[in-house]
Chains A and B, each alone.
Chain A
Amino acid sequence: MNMDDERNIPTVKYEPRLDMFASSIMGTRKYQQDSYACIETPAGSLAVVCDGMGGLEGGERASGLAVKTLLEDYITDSITDIKKFFRNEVKVIDNLVCRISDDNGRPVGAGTTIVAVHIDDGEMNWISVGDSKIYVIRNNELHCIVREHNYRLMLNSMYAKGEITLEQYRSEENKAEALISFLGIGNVSLIDENEAPLKLIQGDMVLLCSDGLYKSLSDERILAIISDNYFDLQRAADELTEAALSYSGRGQDNTTVVIVKYQ
């Protein structure tokens, strides 16, 4: 607390703080193919969620490799440009995941999504490949800031440009959920990232999640669970994953949630 000598008005210096909370469930699947990490260093805070895909343990290896590589490089590299770092990491991990092979040396064809945010000094940069999501919660409103990189994105674009008719769109809809961009695809090119850093304000929250969450819960429900547990966000994270399991119609995918609170 400082005293302003001229007017004797006490001032309080506001020092923002980041808190991070995570929860992950296997759902009704046989394997846990989601991986996540949150790390805080003097250079800033990094949070990442990866949702692996591929038979047997391929998905788990892919998502684990993605998170491990990102963490190791974040720790060891001297990062001056975080956007460039993210972009470069995506390409490196894409290459590494492509090369995941079985005991006989045969590629397993695994892949993984990735959503990652970096926050330093109140500024957030992010990157996304695949259909995991990043939401920003501000003033009790939920805003998704990334796209789902699935076939539906392509269909919507083609339909909007008039390249396909409505009937053609509908006939293709059954394949709409298929991913068209993920790490392990090789030469990954469809990447979502911020143009300019997002300036966070006190009270903002950032939610990273795999598709198991938003495919089971509506945005309204997600927001309700977070605001109902505003004072205990670990409980919010746990309730989100539990609710995804309870409210899913048939079978529940692996579900991972990371909540970052800026206060």
Chain B
Amino acid sequence: MYYCIYCMTEIPEETKECCPCCGAARSNYKPPEGLLRPESLLCGRYYIGRASRSDSSGVTYLAYDTVMSRRVSLRQLTDFGSDSYRKYDHKERFLYTYRTLAQIDVSSLPVVYTCNVQGEVVYAVSEYISEHTLGAYISDTGRKSYEAAKNLMLPIIVALKLMHEKGICHGNVRLVNIRRTDKTLVLCDAAGTAGASGEKSFSDDIRDFLRCFVSVLGGYPVMADEQTVNELLLKNEPGLPDEALECIRLAFENEKTNITADIILRAVYKCTDIALGRKSEEKKEPPKELLELASRSGVAVTRLITSLV
């Protein structure tokens, strides 16, 4: 079985040099040293494609789950720190981050399927999200009004709120890791090593979010830097309301200031809580007769789930 490492379509091996589906040439891909070998199988299940993104904490590959027959994103931890303690610590943080992410059900975070260690490879497998980044979207569409930027970025601040409530940082909030689908923006590629001293904190996540927000406002396809933020604070060309400006000022005038997702939601979005709008499952009530029978028999039923009506 052979899959194109660029689009993960199953193709005949004799066509692998030029994929008949996406047209990509296999020979153009030269993976850096130390990465997982393309076309190899991890855990006998995940077919490794090209490394689509990399940063200081890890590498993300396009991969194919040969058991579930679907494309996935496979994130490999590469930042193991400088000594064996840090290696253990980073590995545990990575696994803890992705295990916790697996428990958060929101459309602006990719579904995490699994995270594990195979030999020296520490990895997490998530839902595949499109390659269309927020940076590319800004390039295509230019600057946005304050209201439009708020609406666009709401899923991201909600994702960060939910992560921080569970005690995990993202550590990698950048335009290139915010992916655009038909319905929403999705925040991908959590670093998983955040929280250790000298590394990203919850407030850093929010500051990075605000940089992305400023980029959207200004139509910049790259992360807004300090100068851009200062200009915004001085001139306020997009015409931000005072509360939003104050929020940005608070976040950036002192890097040690604690700024939270709740502050942003209150100041920018004027909301104190979020309702995810998830359709709640209609809970079938168990038949009353059974519960009454248990009560008459003196049996304490602590749980009863049944299809009986």
Residues of chain A whose beta carbon lies under 8 Å from any beta carbon of chain B: 20, 22, 24, 32, 34-43, 64, 67-68, 71-72, 75-76, 220-221, 224-225, 227-232, 235, 256
Residue of B nearest to A220 (CB): B67
- Sort A-B residue pairs by CB-CB distance and give the 9 closest, nearest first: A37-B306, A228-B113, A40-B303, A224-B67, A38-B305, A231-B102, A40-B302, A35-B307, A75-B294
Contact assessment for B301 and A221 in the assembled complex, using a CB-CB cutoff below 8 Å: no
A37–B305 touching, CB < 8 Å: yes
CB distance from B289 to the nearest CB of A (A): 9
Interface flags for B289-309 (1: CB within 8 Å of A; 0: not) read 010011001011111111110
Knowing that A34-B307, A42-B299, A75-B293 touch, tell me 11 more A-B residue pairs with CB under 8 angstroms.
A37-B308, A38-B303, A64-B308, A67-B306, A68-B308, A76-B297, A224-B45, A227-B114, A228-B114, A231-B102, A232-B105
**How many Å from the CB of A130 to the closest CB on chain B?**
17
Bound: A32/B302 CA distance, A: 27
Query: Residue on B with the closest CB to A34?
Result: B307
* B45 / chain A contacts, CB cutoff of 8 Å: 224
B164 at the interface (CB under 8 A from A): no
B68 interface residue, CB < 8 Å from A? yes
With a cutoff of 8 Å between Cβ atoms, the chain B residues found around residue A230 in the complex are 102, 114
How far apart are the CA atoms of A33 and B308 in the complex, in Å? Answer: 11
Q: Which residue of A lies closest to B296 (CB)?
A: A76
Give the residue of A24, A37, A231 whose beta carbon is less than 8 angstroms from that of B103.
A231
B306 near A36: Cβ-Cβ < 8 Å: yes
A24 to B297, CA, bound (A): 30
* Residue in contact with A22 in the complex, picked from B113, B294, B299, B305, CB distance below 8 Å: B305
From residue A66, how far is it (CB to closest CB) to chain B in Å?
A: 11
In the bound complex, do residue B304 and residue A38 qualify as a contact, i.e. CB atoms below 8 Å apart? yes
Whole-angstrom CA separation of A71 from B102 in the bound complex: 35
Complexed CA–CA distance, A231 and B124 (Å): 14
Enumerate 15 A-B pairs (CB-CB under 8 Å) in ascending A order: A32-B307, A37-B306, A38-B303, A40-B301, A42-B299, A64-B307, A67-B306, A67-B307, A71-B290, A72-B290, A75-B294, A224-B45, A224-B65, A224-B68, A232-B103
Judge if B150 is at the interface, Cβ distance under 8 Å: no
Bound: A36/B308 CA distance, A? 8
Complex Cα gap A39–B308 (Å):
12
Asked if B297 and A75 sit within 8 Å, CB to CB, the answer is yes
B102 cross-chain contacts in A, Cβ below 8 A: 230-232
Any chain A CB within 8 A of the CB of B99? yes
CA of A166 to CA of B7, assembled, Å: 47
Q: Which of A75, A225, A227, A235 contacts B290 (CB 8 A)?
A: A75
CB under 8 Å from chain A, chain B span 214-245: none
CA of A230 to CA of B293, assembled, Å:
35
Report Cα–Cα, A74/B297, bound state, in Å. Answer: 11
**Restricting to B254-309, which residues have a CB under 8 Å from any CB of A?**
290, 293-294, 297, 299-308
Q: With A37-B306, A37-B308 in contact, is A228–B301 under 8 Å at CB?
A: no
CA distance A64 to B65 in the complex (A): 39
A42 to B300 alpha-carbon distance, docked (Å): 7
For residue B298, give the distance in angstroms from its CB to the closest CB of chain A.
10
Q: Is the CB of A221 within 8 A of B68?
A: yes
Contacts of B294 in A (CB 8 A): 41, 75
CB atoms of B67 and A221 under 8 A apart: yes
Contact flag A225-B307 (CB < 8 Å), given A41-B300, A232-B103: no
**Chain A residues with Cβ under 8 A from B301's Cβ?**
39-41, 75
How distant is the Cα of A243 from the Cα of B99 in the complex, in angstroms? Answer: 23
Q: What mask results when residues 35 to 60 of chain B are scored 1 for a CB within 8 Å of chain A, else 0?
A: 00000000001000000000000000
Nearest chain A CB to B10 CB, angstrom units: 17
In the assembly, what is the distance between CA of A79 and CA of B185, in Å? 56
Collect the chain A residues with CB atoms within 8 Å of residue B300's CB: 41-42
Kindly report which residue of chain B lies nearest to residue A218, judged by CB atoms. Answer: B67
CB contacts (< 8 Å) of B299 on chain A: these are: 41-43, 75
Residue of B nearest to A247 (CB): B69
Residues of A within 8 A of B297 (CB): 75-76
Q: How far is the CA of A230 from the CA of B45 in the complex (A)?
A: 17
Nearest CB on B from A233, distance (A): 11
Nearest A residue to B100, CB-CB: A231
Most buried by A among B65, B103, B302, B306: B306
